[in-house]
Amino acid sequence: MLADVKAYDAAKARLEDGEDELIPLEITERRLSGEPALRIWREHRKLTQEQLAKKAKVSRALIAAIETDRKTGSVSTWKKLGAALDVRAFLPMVYSSDGESSRT
């Protein structure tokens, strides 16, 4: 029980310090309905494809292709996109635990 209280306190401190954030219900609902994670987070951060491309140093065309499932994007690309969007959870959404792409 004490470990649970400590874990809660640590999580609460990370939120208060801005080191972590809660995922809004809208993002979860959109993801569960099948929308691409990249589009959801880009729109949540109020960025256009062009703005995200500049920030992540990737092409706008690649972002469009990923958002429409024409390309999956490399691990390197997802790391850049995740950093630009301040989202660390992208790789598990796209790649399974064995490192293989979950989409073909």
Q: Check if the beta carbon of residue 99 is closer than 8 Å to that of residue 89.
A: no
What the chain holds in terms of domains, given with CATH numbers, is 35-104 (1.10.260.40)
Match 């400590």 to its residue by tokens.
6
The tens digit of pLDDT for each residue in 22-49 reads 889 999 999 999 999 999 999 999 999 9
- Sign of torsion over alpha carbons 67, 68, 74, 77: negative
HSE-CB at 64 with a 13 A cutoff on CA atoms is 7
pTM to 2 decimals?
Answer: 0.73
Tokens representing 2?
A: 């004490």
- In the chain the beta strands, taken as DSSP E runs, fall at none
Q: In this predicted model, what pLDDT tens digit does every residue of 60-97 receive, in sequence order?
A: 999 999 999 999 999 899 999 999 998 876 554 554 44
- Rounded Cα distance, 18 and 52, in Å: 22
- Between 102 and 91, the higher pLDDT residue: 91
